[in-house]
Structure 1
Amino acid sequence: MRIVVHGQQAFGKAVLERLLERGENVVAVCCAPTKEGRPEDPLVEFAREKGLPVHQPASWKTPEALELMQSFEADVCMMAYVLLFVPEAVRDAPKYGTFQYHPSLCPEHRGPSSINWPIAMGKTRTGLTIFWPDDGLDEGPIMLQKTCEIGPDETIGDVYFNKLFPMGVDAMIEGLELVKAGVILKHDQRLDEGSYESWFKGDHAAVDWSKPVADVYNIIRAANPAPGASTTIKDQPVQLYDAERREGSGTPGEVVEVTDEGIVMQAEGGRVLIKRLKPQGGKKMSASEWFNSLG
């Protein structure tokens, strides 16, 4: 079976690695263009190391892009973390079409920050979806889904790298096996009826210490390691990362104490120990070290 891998970053690379380990016939690798001054995408570097043809069109909405996909004479295209919009004609050019990975239990949490939002909302489960994309935003018939738990102290980094990343690579291969077996599942359930959330940043990642401590802690977890929850401590804007929930009462927004472990902040009904933060214009560092440097 002739396969086109369309993706980016470490996830796209991991899918390609798995395909090559299995001896699959990857005829082309597609990736977004490399931005000037930025390092080469890991997927592009790996594909070139393996001698695979790499294509990086600036847009897939042109006649030339359609001709490019048609020239591969592919049986299927596997989309692994794709940011550029790919129109229907291009997606349908391979014999069996194109399927895609999305790190949420669609139709819930469609959009670019699909891992952040379930954590920020205090949910205890999330998952991934392999689907046949249409021209909507993360919409189309579902092929298969996998679920996983969100631990009470897990961050977006924990959930993605330890769960959704490896599960997603396995699920992409499972999807390929279904296509190869002729079982092209296109369920009636579609992805256009659930929630669509935009980027989890700005006001979404801002901490309101007057909120219940559970809500505050969820925001910090959902923003770690990116984009970092934002707040102000001692009139200094900072982004918060590693944290731990604590018991205790007091005035919300107050610095309760500073220890070798970090800064203890008061929220409504409980406290949060901030272990690591990033001051404006600086680098991530120990919260207590930063606080003590203020004098």
Structure 2
Amino acid sequence: MSRPLRVIFAGTPDFAAESLAALLASRHQIIAVYTQPDRPAGRGRRLTPSPVKTLAIEHGLPVHQPETLKTPDVQAELAALDADLMVVVAYGLILPRAILDTPRQGCLNVHASLLPRWRGAAPIQRAIEAGDSESGVTIMQMDAGLDTGDMLLVRRTPITATTTGGELHDTLAALGGEAIVAALDALADGGLSATPQPGEGVTYAAKLSKAEAELDFRRPASELAARIRAFNPWPVAWCALGDERLRLLMAEIGVPHDAETPATPGTLLVQDGGALRIACGERGDQVLRVTRAQLPGGKPLAVHELLKARAERFPPGLVLGRFNEETPR
């Protein structure tokens, strides 16, 4: 068996910690960990270490937290580690060319999509939002572009009609850990080949924002249901319920009764006991069936439980949301 690789690991959130944990259990040697500086978090805004830093400290690994990798002293410090390669997973800092070229075998990235689809910041949520039937992780040889490097290894997983952003995140985090270990094993044994990304099929996953979590019921039911699942658990889709916000956590496309006529988008239709049935689409002739929701100050509940406790908040004919035919898009 070939010798273990000397690896610098760079990552910050929970997603990255899964890959670090997998590498720690492998035959390869983590010689240093790079992660974002501690950030304020929680109600007290106390400085809090990243999940990657917490795991690294538990295993006695040296931790580096530079604000940037662009300064000569930081680059010299990294070069002195004499690494075979650097594994980068949701690190959050740009790697300049000097860093990319420092490890003997370059820098590998664990990216949460099937490249070249969904390059960019939010590939997990955008895949669900777009109605993709599958996602996965790509182990990529990093270059100076935005997720444009050659592909080394791919692992796939289906996206179902009930998959949420949180569920896909956790699945891909575990898959990423498995994939990066497999890639390093193959690289150490000389059996890993690179494939350039195809020029066709490139899409960009824009960063999520809280502003886009407000639902416009003039949109098609399929689009709304996908967005609700994609934005669970963050930023969480919502709509106006009077002067309050109703958070929507799970939904599907509903089938209206034959007797029903098109309604103003956002109108609550007669409920079926297990869901909030909301008119949607340009003409209000489609139905969004919401099966899990959360009232302000309350817990996330299955809608049948919500209706048992607070049915008076959801009378048929009530119009949810702030959008109507006169509202500009």
Q: TM-score if structure 2 supplies the norm length?
A: 0.80
Asked if the contact 2:222–2:252 (Cα under 8 Å) also holds between the matched residues in 1, the reply is no
Asked if the contact 2:8–2:30 (Cα under 8 Å) also holds between the matched residues in 1, the reply is yes
Residue matched to 2:32: 28
Distance 1:17 1:166 in 2: 10
- Are positions 1:70 and 2:71 aligned together? no
Structure 2 residue corresponding to 1:230, chosen from 238, 258, 273: 238
Q: How many residues align?
A: 292
Gaps of 5+ in 2: 41-45, 316-329
Distance 1:192 1:211 in 2: 28
**How big is the shift at 1:30?**
0.9
Structure 1 residue corresponding to 2:197, chosen from 189, 192, 198: 189
RMSD: 2.5
Gaps of 5+ in 1: none
Summarize the Cα distance change of 1:131–1:263 in structure 2 as closer, same or farther, 3 Å threshold. Answer: same
Summarize the Cα distance change of 1:261–1:130 in structure 2 as closer, same or farther, 3 Å threshold. Answer: same
Residue matched to 1:90: 99
1:196-255 Cα shifts (integer Å, max 9, x gaps): 231133454332212221111111111111111132223433432133443225422112
One-letter amino acid matched to 2:95:
V
1:73-109 Cα shifts (integer Å, max 9, x gaps): 0111111222111112112211111100111111111
- Are positions 1:264 and 2:277 aligned together? yes
**Which residues in structure 2 correspond to 1:139-150 (within 5 Å)?**
139-150=148-159
Structure 1 residue corresponding to 2:223, chosen from 197, 215, 229: 215
Q: TM-score if structure 1 supplies the norm length?
A: 0.88
Summarize the Cα distance change of 1:276–1:11 in structure 2 as closer, same or farther, 3 Å threshold. Answer: same
1:254-278 Cα shifts (integer Å, max 9, x gaps): 1225687553322232232242236
**How big is the shift at 1:43?**
1.6
Q: Does 1-10 or 258-267 show the bigger shift?
A: 258-267
Distance 2:59 2:298 in 1: 36
One-letter amino acid matched to 1:143:
L
Asked if the contact 1:127–1:148 (Cα under 8 Å) also holds between the matched residues in 2, the reply is yes
Asked if the contact 2:88–2:110 (Cα under 8 Å) also holds between the matched residues in 1, the reply is yes
One-letter amino acid matched to 1:69:
L
Identity %: 26
Distance 1:203 1:124 in 2: 26
**Which residues in structure 2 correspond to 1:1-295 (within 5 Å)?**
1-36=5-40, 37-161=46-170, 163-189=171-197, 194-202=202-210, 204-248=212-256, 249=260, 250-251=262-263, 252-257=265-270, 261=274, 263-268=276-281, 269-277=286-294, 279=296, 282=297, 284-286=299-301, 288=306, 292=312
Summarize the Cα distance change of 1:290–1:186 in structure 2 as closer, same or farther, 3 Å threshold. Answer: farther
Q: Does 188-197 or 29-38 show the bigger shift?
A: 188-197
Give the SS at the match of 2:37: coil
Distance 2:174 2:237 in 1: 26
One-letter amino acid matched to 2:242:
K
Q: Which runs of 4+ in 1 moved over 6 A?
A: none
Asked if the contact 2:32–2:64 (Cα under 8 Å) also holds between the matched residues in 1, the reply is yes
Give the SS at the match of 1:128: strand
Give the SS at the match of 1:64: helix
Summarize the Cα distance change of 1:88–1:290 in structure 2 as closer, same or farther, 3 Å threshold. Answer: farther
Distance 1:107 1:283 in 2: 41
